[in-house]
Amino acid sequence: MKKQKFVTARKILYTLALAGIIAIPTDTLRAQSSDEPTTAQTAGQGGILDVLALSVFTQHGQDTQDTKAIQEDSPGHSALAGRIEGVWDVRVTILQCDTGAPIRNVRAMNMFIHGGTLTETATNLLRGSSLGTWHHVGAQDYTAVFRFFRFNPDGSFAGTTKVTRSIELSRDANEFTATSSVESFDVNDNLIATGCAKETASRLE
């Protein structure tokens, strides 16, 4: 079994060498292709090719581990970060920024999507649905930013709104609270108003 394994490895190495992917010493290739190799030559060639095979497969294994580690460390990809993924029923309270006094309540739904994107919609006929991104900061903490279009009562375009959120996920990952800052822009992207909000959310099953 062991002999068959290294014979296969040697064939792979020669294929890679012919394709120019790796380099095998010329003397080794010449000796391996000889019609009548001596026992000492065969042993020496086998040793060299075994080392090369081990190096190639070891490097392949390391590359695979490195790729997996990078993916797990990427925002939105680790198991811990992904706990926020899913659909949420969100209760939003618009606040007076300087006093914290409530102004009005809004109902919304959020979808946190694997990979770090999100969508949002709310109970306001004069605005569209939102598109945005989310990031895992650490532990139970996340940030998210989304934008939506606003419209005038006659249906004409009124501008855009950007919402920036700091989110704290519950330990069981079934609820979250958030604080938000709101920036409204006119049709020419000039900042015309700012606001504040707080949110509570529960996961929809």
The pLDDT tens digits of the residues spanning 10-33 come to 554 455 444 454 454 545 444 444
What sign for the dihedral angle of Cα 10, 16, 22, 25?
A: positive
Which whole number is the average pLDDT over 80-106? Answer: 95
Instruction: Write down the pTM of the prediction.
Output: 0.63
Residues 85 and 69 in one domain: no
Which whole number is the average pLDDT over 147-167? Answer: 98
- How many domains are contained in the chain? 2
Could you give the angle at the alpha carbon of 50 between the alpha carbons of 45 and 55, nearest 5°?
130
Residues 40 and 129 in one domain: no
**Domain encompassing residue 64:** 2-73
H or E segment to which residue 105 belongs: strand 102-113
DSSP annotation string for 60-89: HHHHHHHHHHHHHHSTTTSTTGGGG-EEEE
